[in-house]
Amino acid sequence: MVGGRLHCLGCLLKCSAVLLLWVCLYDVEASSCQRVIHKKVGDTVQLSSCSPSEGVTTAIWKYERSMIANKDRKVDEKQFKGRLQLNPTDFSLTVKELIPRDSGEFSFHSEVNNQQRATVTTALRVHESIAKQPVLTGNSTWDPLTNSCTVLLECSVNPDTNVSYKWTVGNQTRNGSRLRYNIREEDGDTKFTCIIYNPVSEMSASHTVKCIKDTQEISTHNNGIGLVVILSVVGGACLLIFLSVIAVWGWKQSKSAVDDDHTVYADITEVAIEDGSKPSSVYETIDNRDLPVMPGPQTIYDKIQLSRVAKASVSPYQDIS
């Protein structure tokens, strides 16, 4: 009887030890699962079920409460079309070619022998990689009362970019997009570095400031922006020079035309007759410029028909027949 009881007690202890070991292993596996996963655009992520796969009768993956895959390998054909893969052995879910709107909660629902188990939830965060350096702006102002300079700096990026900010000055670190820092003349060159970062990438920009008894404006830009500004200035200058050349050429042409007009009008003016008589008409002036003045009638008609006049007429009218 006593032996039987001892045997039963031994079996009970063995079962308890196995159960305790299983619970420990389950806890270790569950605790090793990532509850929040950060990935960048274009990456691939594998979401673990974080649960033992033995005896599973039902296995379903949901995205924001909508089923996207189940144990029978049926997968969603909408948002994740062609990008999902369910492992039939451990029921892990793989999502390929991640995009920003894939961010959200994925939950794994399962049953063992038709008994529901605890739901495992994983939050996925998909981030854009930081592509541009931040821009530093600010100033350094001399304070005669403390014989030091107050440096005010601001670190800025594209407002649509979701990033965190961190400053480093020497061996000191501060958070935030703005920094206020005091330096002295004897500190010499002091380097300020702004670091922008998200869970998948980071970028930085630096500027060195030296304390002098004057106000200094601080501005740093990345090379791409500087190149655009330089090209814009050069292009504007070339356009201005071209327009100036065209304007000067047009002005000279108009001035030349005016000078030529003055010359014509100067030639076609009234010219005094050498004998002191009243100046003749324009037509007479042009015709008499190189010919001596002849006595007799002075009308145009008379000049045209002069060769046909037989003799002088006493009539006040000229004979034009």
Give the helix, strand, coil percentages of the chain, each rounded to 5.
Answer: 30, 35, 35
Token pair, residue 301, equals 């008609």
Tell me which CATH code domain 135-221 carries.
2.60.40.10
Q: What are phi and psi of 296, to 5 degrees?
A: 110, -170
8 Å CB contact between 92 and 46: yes
Q: Where in the chain is the domain with CATH 2.60.40.10?
A: 24-127, 135-221
Ordered per-residue pLDDT tens for the chain, 321 residues? 444 554 444 544 454 443 343 434 333 344 458 799 999 999 999 999 998 988 899 999 999 989 999 987 778 778 898 899 999 899 999 999 999 999 999 999 999 988 999 999 999 999 999 989 999 999 999 999 999 999 999 999 988 778 999 999 999 999 999 999 999 999 999 999 999 999 999 999 999 999 998 777 777 654 433 433 344 544 666 577 767 767 777 766 665 554 544 444 444 444 444 454 444 444 444 444 454 555 555 554 444 444 444 455 555 555 544
Q: Please write down the long-range contacts of 179-183, taking CB distance under 8 Å and 24 or more positions apart.
A: 179/151, 179/152, 179/153, 179/154, 179/155, 180/150, 180/151, 180/152, 181/150, 181/151, 181/153, 182/146, 182/148, 182/149, 182/150, 182/151, 183/140, 183/148, 183/149, 183/151, 183/209, 183/211
Instruction: Write out the CATH class of domain 24-127.
Output: mainly beta
Alpha-carbon gap, residue 206 to 170, rounded angstroms: 12
Token pair, residue 243, equals 């327009």
